[in-house]
Structure 1
Amino acid sequence: MAKYQVYLVRHGKTWFNRYDKMQGWSDTPLAPDGVEVAKQAAEALKDVDFSAAFSSDARRAIDTCKIIVDANKDHDKITPVKLPEFREEFYGYFEGNSSRQTWFTVGAMHGCTSYSEVITKYGMDASKDFVKEADPFHDAENAEEYWTRLDKGFDKLDDIAKDGDRILLVSHGTTIRSITDRYNAGNFDITVSPRNSSLTILECDDGEKRVTTYNKLLK
C-alpha cells in the first residue's frame, strides 16, 4: 500500500450549525459566513499539490470542496468526487433537533447532561451506541455500523492513492473528530469540535493511519 496524506477539511458553517441543530444525514446549505470561511480555507490551500479531491455526498461538503478546488493552482486537473462513505454520523430520530436538548436526553440515560460529558466519560464510539439506543426507531447508526461504512471509504482511498499523494477530503465535524479519536497520534483533545473549514491531517502508511494535525484554523 502507498504512503499518503489525507487533508480532512470540515465543511463551512451551515444554517443548522448556526442554530445548533443535529445535522447528520440531514443537510442545510452553507450560511454566508460559512461560504466566507470556506474561501479562507481555499486561499490557505491554493498551493497544495492535491492528487485528488473528495467530499461526502452532502451538499454542504460538496459546495465547500468545490470552493477549495476552484481556488487551487491545479484546479483544471482536479475533478471533485463524492464519497458517500464519509457522510456524517446518522442521528436517526434526532436529526434536526436541538443539539443541546438531544444530548441532554441521550446522556441522561447514562448520568450525563452534554455531548462533551458523554464522550469524556464513555468515549466516541459509546456516544454512537447511546444515540441508537435512545432513538425510538433505532434508525441512528451505532459504532459498528458507522465504522463499517467509513472503513469502506478508506479502502477506496487506499485503492487510488500513490506514494506521496495529498488527497483533499471534505467531511464533517463528528466524522473528523471520530477519525481523530481512533487514530490520534498527537494526544489531541477531541472534546473540542473541529471548527468549520479547519484542517485535520491523516497520514496513511501501508494500511496504518495516524492523525498528526487536528483542527488547524485555515486563514
Structure 2
Amino acid sequence: MARAIVHIVRHGETDENRQKIIQGQLDTVLNAAGLDQARRVAGALRANPFDVAFSSDLSRAVKTAETILAYHPTVQLQKIADLRERHMGNLQGQAISPTATASGNRSIETMALFASRAVRWWNKFLQYLSTLPVRDTPYEILVVSHGGWIGALVRTLVNSRKLRTAEGVAIGKCLNVSVTRIEMDDNRNGTVTKYGNISHLVGKWVETNADELYE
C-alpha cells in the first residue's frame, strides 16, 4: 500500500495563457475559463480525503487550490514560494516571438537552478512525510503549481531515478488544471501513475504554455 498519494495540479487558465504571453513569476489571475476549469478539477478531486495542501504563492495557483479546498474546508493551504513558476526575467509580460529567446539571457532563472528549486521543495516534503505516523490508509496530499515547475520536478526526479513511471505513463504536456499523481511508499520510492491528466475537462484548456517553451 502507498504511504502517500500526491496529487499535483497545474493552475487554471489566465488571460496571459490565452494570449500566449510569458508569465513566469508575474502574479496573474484566473480568467473566467480558468475559474470554470478550477471548479471542474475541484469536482474531480472532491472525493479525495486530503490531509494537507501546498500551493505556489502566486494568485493563479492559490485561487485554483482554494477552489479545490472548498470541498475540504478543514484543510489549511500552505503557500510556498519554491512552488513558483520559473522566473523568466525580462521576457515576463512579452508575447511569444522569435526574438523572445531565453538563450544567453542572464535575467532568466537557469533551468539548473529552477530544477534545483523544485527538487529542494520535494526533499523538504519527503522529510515532512517521514514524520507522519504510520496508518492503514495513505496520506492524500494536494500540490498546486505551474506547468513548467511540474515538468521540471517530475522530469528531474525520473531522470535521477528517484521516481519511476508506471507502465503506459508518458511525461508530456502539462495543460491547465491537469492532474499528475505520484504514489510514495515507506522507503521514499515513488511511482508516477498519472501525468498531465485532463479527463475531467471537455475542451477547457490552452494548448501552449508560453513559459514551457523556454525549458
TM-score range, shorter chain: 0.7 to 0.9
Residue of structure 2 in register with 1:30 after alignment: 30
Residues 11-50 of structure 1: matches in 2 within 5 Å? 11-50=11-50
Residue identity matched to 1:96: G
Say whether the 8 Å CA contact 1:4–1:203 is kept in structure 2: yes
Matched, 1:152 2:132: no
Say whether the 8 Å CA contact 1:174–1:193 is kept in structure 2: no
Matched, 1:196 2:176: yes
Give TM-score scaled by structure 1 length. Answer: 0.76
Residue identity matched to 1:21: I
Residue of structure 2 in register with 1:87 after alignment: 84
Query: Any idea what SS the aligned residue of 1:134 has?
Result: coil
Task: Summarize the Cα distance change of 1:25–1:78 in structure 2 as closer, same or farther, 3 Å threshold.
Answer: same
Residue identity matched to 1:208: N
Residue of structure 2 in register with 1:134 after alignment: 104
Q: Report the CA distance between 1:189 and its aligned residue.
A: 4.5
2:25 and 2:93 map into 1 onto residues whose CA distance is 10
Q: Report the CA distance between 1:67 and its aligned residue.
A: 0.4
2:155 and 2:116 map into 1 onto residues whose CA distance is 16
Say whether the 8 Å CA contact 1:180–1:214 is kept in structure 2: no
Give TM-score scaled by structure 2 length. Answer: 0.78
Query: Any idea what SS the aligned residue of 1:81 has?
Result: strand
Residue of structure 1 in register with 2:205 after alignment: none
Residue of structure 1 in register with 2:210 after alignment: none
Residue of structure 2 in register with 1:63 after alignment: 63
**Cα deviations by residue, 1:95-143 (Å, 9 ceiling, x for unpaired):** 11113x15x653xxxxxxxxxxxxxxxxxxxxxxxx3x431xx121112
Residue identity matched to 1:213: K
Residue identity matched to 1:97: Q
Give aligned pairs, total.
Answer: 185
2:120 and 2:44 map into 1 onto residues whose CA distance is 30
Q: Report the CA distance between 1:144 and its aligned residue.
A: 2.2
**Cα deviations by residue, 1:70-114 (Å, 9 ceiling, x for unpaired):** 123xx2x20111011111111112111113x15x653xxxxxxxx
Q: Percent identity?
A: 29
Query: Any idea what SS the aligned residue of 2:165 has?
Result: coil
Residues 93-172 of structure 1: matches in 2 within 5 Å? 93-99=90-96, 101=97, 105-106=100-101, 131=102, 133-135=103-105, 138-161=106-129, 162=132, 164-172=138-146
**Cα deviations by residue, 1:31-90 (Å, 9 ceiling, x for unpaired):** 001000100111111110111011001110001000000123xx2x20111011111111
Q: Hey, which bits of structure 1, 4+ residues long, moved more than 6 A?
A: none
1:143 and 1:207 map into 2 onto residues whose CA distance is 25
Higher helix share: 1
1:12 and 1:178 map into 2 onto residues whose CA distance is 19
Structure 2 segments unaligned to the other structure (5+ residues): 159-163, 202-215
Say whether the 8 Å CA contact 2:119–2:153 is kept in structure 1: no
Q: Report the CA distance between 1:207 and its aligned residue.
A: 3.0
Say whether the 8 Å CA contact 2:182–2:193 is kept in structure 1: yes
Structure 1 segments unaligned to the other structure (5+ residues): 107-130
Query: Any idea what SS the aligned residue of 1:201 has?
Result: strand
